[in-house]
């Protein structure tokens, strides 16, 4: 999502929230809890399925999965906005940190945590 599109989405989320007078409920704790809840709802789609079962489930439930992903993304976007965190800048900084922690020469093709590489 480009920066312009992200800013448009931030503004739409704010408008949706403010039209309903929900800012009083959207403090950092409650938004963080909501992110965790929605992420758990996303996880439910994949629980107890093997690789083949996951892909079959995704094929049959793509719209529902997209809804859960969108819920997580919207709450996360709003949390960053409410805290004055530039989400794109934060992701860029984190990618740079991860590049340092997981150099290609050591991390390529392995899922080992950085402190065990």
Residue 14 located in a structural domain: yes
The range of the structural domain enclosing residue 19 comes to: 3-85
Query: Model's pTM, two decimal places?
Result: 0.89
The predicted pLDDT at position 9 comes to: 97
Angstrom CA distances, 13 to 20, 22, 31, 65, 82, stand at 11, 11, 13, 20, 11
Residue 19 located in a structural domain: yes
The predicted pLDDT at position 1 comes to: 61
Instruction: Give residue-wise pLDDT tens across range 89-101.
Output: 999 999 999 999 9
Look at the chain and report how many structural domains it folds into.
1
Burial letters for 89-104: b for 16+ Cβ neighbours within 10 Å, e otherwise?
eeeeeeeeeeeeebee
Instruction: Give residue-wise pLDDT tens across range 31-83.
Output: 999 999 999 999 999 999 999 999 999 999 999 999 999 999 999 999 999 99
């Amino acid at each position: 999502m480009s920066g312009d599109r992200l800013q448009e989405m931030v503004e739409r989320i704010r408008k949706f929230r403010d039209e309903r007078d929900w800012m009083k409920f959207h403090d950092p704790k409650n938004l963080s809890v909501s992110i965790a809840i929605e992420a758990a709802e996303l996880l439910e789609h994949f629980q107890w399925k093997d690789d083949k079962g996951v892909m079959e489930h995704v094929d049959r439930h793509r719209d529902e999965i997209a809804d859960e992903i969108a819920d997580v993304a919207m709450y996360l976007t709003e949390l960053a906005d409410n805290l004055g965190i530039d989400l794109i800048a934060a992701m860029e900084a984190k990618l740079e940190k991860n590049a340092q922690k997981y150099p290609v020469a050591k991390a390529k093709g392995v899922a080992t945590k950085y402190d065990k590489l």
